[in-house]
Amino acid sequence: MERVILHSDCNSFYASVECLYRPEIRNKPVAVGGDVEQRHGIILTKNQIAKKYNIKTGEALWQAKQKCPDLVIVPPNFPLYMRFSKMARKIYLDYTDQVEPFGLDEAWLDVTGSAVKGDGLTIAKEISARIKYEMGITVSIGVSYNKIFAKLGSDYKKPDAITVMSKDNYKQIAWPLPASDLLYVGRATEKKLTSLGVHTIGDLAGTSNQILRSFFGKWGDVLYCFSNGLDTTPVSKFDNQPTIKSIGNSTTTPRDLENNEDVKIILFVLADSVSRRLREQGFKARTVCISVRDNQLFSFTRQYTLKQYTNITSEIAREGFSLFCKQYHWLKPIRSIGISVTDFVSDTIATQTDLFSDEKSREKREQLDSTVDWLKNRFGSYCVQPAVLLADRQLSGFDPKRDHTIHPVGYF
Amino acid sequence: MAIYKKYVVVTANFDADGNIMPLSIVWDDGTRYEIDKVLDVRPAASMRAGGAGIRYTCRILNKETYLFLEGSMWFVEAKR
């Protein structure tokens, strides 16, 4: 049976919510931007008027101001956006329990079994009208028989639009679009595809599976399926929590990092948050990964697999720092840095020890961590800290665990 | 006449099922306005005042007016 899948995307989500709450700026070019003082000064979203000035998400606030001197820049209010995100999901859940959020502002809905409410287009129209009436913002909705084309449909026409990509019309609508519109075709893949003479989704669909596989490995199959509308990935049920595969934190620092001592401070703050989240989820991890971006915005990641699974703060911090010391040669100062851990096992699983590590001291450190966790939950993240963080209060004075509330998501 | 968002003091009845019904509104000057009847309750946005929540259509002194419950705060679309 052919599925009926909707992809709903709130148009300029943050900016729309801000414009709803501030009627006085509704007719002006508006952007939501980060804090310049903290060097988070980039455009997060812009409204339709600002789009006309060619303002791009991710560009620096000063660049945007140059393009449009009258641009109104408002600071983000994440708790408010989360409330609106929940309101939208509540509306979606009136139609199906298969609601799969993709970030705060997007979601897939499988309404195959909701025929009592009408066909896909009817339901899309009703959802669009309700969101406008109940939340005061607009959505673009794609209606299709698979998730990938539904998403293409919601991107096809904005704002406040509904696009149907059916088996009858996808060759006319989806195939002429550039290949980069497809989920998971980023800059690198696009470049490779261009060198193969593949420019549109139709070109991609017409390229044989074997050729794609020889260039992209298993991603070749994925691209082939996506472009031909053969994707069968189900829309997961709303209460299905996705499996956590990695936990990480990163930050752009208030000033450039100049030496190992600076990096040590930041890595210790980040590792503290990462390991606390790891323990909260009941995991131990074995692979530590760091990401580094220098002040010319060149970035790279490196990872290292430990001999033992761990959730000990000091071990994760130490491994992250020693990996950094081995890999970075200080040709340029650093702008942002991150640490993450992957390769999880449950923390209740028995682990193999070895003859050369001091298990007694590891156990002691585990107990120390759980005590410190208890203290921090009760008295806040700053109540107990390693002494290294006192070296520079400006650098260490942030709380990634509390501040970081929106986690990026992937399709697979 | 400009419309603005005005937060107000509300006395409400919370029934055993968790339904909330506003009974009266207190204005800045201390005047209490009884709500004669709640005509409609639905989630809605207030484009004029800027906000979104549960909208109560109330009859007060023979006039229909909207009262919004947004989170734990009540507001009306006031005229300046």
Taking alpha carbons only, the member of A185, A218, A151 closest to residue A196 is A185
Taking alpha carbons only, the member of A267, A265, A269, A261 closest to residue A376 is A269
Chain B contact present for A402, CB below 8 A: no
**Burial of A79 from C-beta contacts in 10 A (0-12 / 13-18 / 19+):** exposed
- b/e code A318-328 from CB counts within 10 Å (16+ = b): bbbbebbeeeb
Q: What is the ipTM of this complex?
A: 0.92
Which residues of chain B does A21 touch, with a Cβ-Cβ cutoff of 8 Å? 50-51
Predicted local distance difference test score (pLDDT) of residue A411? 66
Looking at residue A42, the DSSP 8-state letter turns out to be: B
Nearest CA in chain A to B70: A83
Mean pLDDT of the region A138-163: 95
Do A127 and A95 touch, CB atoms closer than 8 A? yes
Looking at residue A390, the DSSP 8-state letter turns out to be: G
Which residues of chain A does B48 touch, with a Cβ-Cβ cutoff of 8 Å? 23
Which residues of chain A does B42 touch, with a Cβ-Cβ cutoff of 8 Å? 134
Interface of B with A (CB under 8 A): 3, 42-52, 71
Taking alpha carbons only, the member of A72, A42, A71, A69 closest to residue A57 is A42
Shortest Cα distance, chain B CAs vs residue A133, angstroms: 6
Q: What is the pLDDT of residues B24-77, one digit of tens each?
A: 999 888 899 999 999 999 999 999 999 999 999 999 999 999 999 999 999 999
Predicted local distance difference test score (pLDDT) of residue A357? 80
Shortest Cα distance, chain B CAs vs residue A131, angstroms: 9
Alpha-carbon torsion, ordered A147, A152, A157, A161, to 10 deg: 0
CA dist A304 → A118, A244, A288, A322 (Å): 53, 19, 5, 10
Looking at residue A87, the DSSP 8-state letter turns out to be: H
Chain B contact present for A2, CB below 8 A: no
Predicted local distance difference test score (pLDDT) of residue A123? 96
Sequence-distant (≥ 6) Cβ neighbours of residue A180 within 8 angstroms: A186, A187, A190
Other Cβ atoms less than 10 A from the Cβ of A216: the count is: 17
Alpha-carbon torsion, ordered B58, B60, B66, B69, to 10 deg: -70
CA–CA distance, A221 with A214 (Å, rounded to integer): 10
**Least CB-CB distance to A136: which of B42, B45, B71?**
B45
Q: How far is CA A178 from the centre of its chain?
A: 23
Q: How many CB pairs lie under 8 A apart between chains A and B? A: 32
Predicted local distance difference test score (pLDDT) of residue A160? 93
Which residues of chain B does A139 touch, with a Cβ-Cβ cutoff of 8 Å? none
- CB-facing half-sphere around the CA of B30: CA atoms within 13 A: 0
Mean pLDDT of the region A329-342: 92
Looking at residue A115, the DSSP 8-state letter turns out to be: G
Q: What is the pLDDT of residues A27-64, one digit of tens each?
A: 999 999 987 777 778 899 999 999 999 998 888 899 99
Which residues of chain B does A20 touch, with a Cβ-Cβ cutoff of 8 Å? 45, 47, 50-52
> C-alpha angle A288/A290/A294, rounded to 5°?
175
> C-alpha angle A58/A63/A66, rounded to 5°?
145
Asked if A20 and B43 come within 8 Å (Cβ–Cβ), the reply is no
Q: Is the pLDDT of residue A405 over 60?
A: no
CA–CA distance, A202 with A178 (Å, rounded to integer): 9
Predicted local distance difference test score (pLDDT) of residue A397? 79
Q: Is the pLDDT of residue A117 over 70?
A: yes
Sequence-distant (≥ 6) Cβ neighbours of residue A279 within 8 angstroms: A311, A347, A369, A370, A373
Shortest Cα distance, chain A CAs vs residue B45, angstroms: 5
The amino acid at A346: S
Mean pLDDT of the region B2-14: 94
In terms of average pLDDT, the best of A279-283, B2-6, B57-61 is B57-61
Mean pLDDT of the region A221-225: 92
- Tell me whether residue A2 is one of the annotated catalytic residues: no
Q: Is the pLDDT of residue A110 over 60?
A: yes
Instruction: Work out the pLDDT band at A319, boundaries 50, 70, 90.
Output: very high
CA–CA distance, A46 with A50 (Å, rounded to integer): 6
For A282-322, give the DSSP string.
TEEEEEEEEEEEETTS-EEEEEEEEEEEE--HHHHHHHHHH
Predicted local distance difference test score (pLDDT) of residue A406? 58
Q: Is the pLDDT of residue A134 over 90?
A: yes
- Strand positions, DSSP E, chain B: 3-7, 9-14, 20-26, 32-34, 37-46, 51-60, 63-70, 73-79
For A160-201, give the DSSP string.
S-EEEE-TTTHHHHTTTSBGGGSTT--HHHHHHHHHTT--BH
CA–CA distance, A402 with A48 (Å, rounded to integer): 32
Q: Is the pLDDT of residue B8 over 70?
A: yes
In DSSP terms, A247 is beta-bridged to A341
CA–CA distance, A200 with A5 (Å, rounded to integer): 23
CA–CA distance, A346 with A283 (Å, rounded to integer): 5
B interface test, pick of A20, A30, A83 with most B CB neighbours within 10 Å: A20
Instruction: Work out the pLDDT band at A206, boundaries 50, 70, 90.
Output: very high
Q: Looking at A59, A100, A106, A315, which residue is catalytic?
A: A106
Predicted local distance difference test score (pLDDT) of residue A133? 97
Share above pLDDT 90 across residues of chain A, in percent, rounded to a whole number: 67
pTM listed for this prediction: 0.80
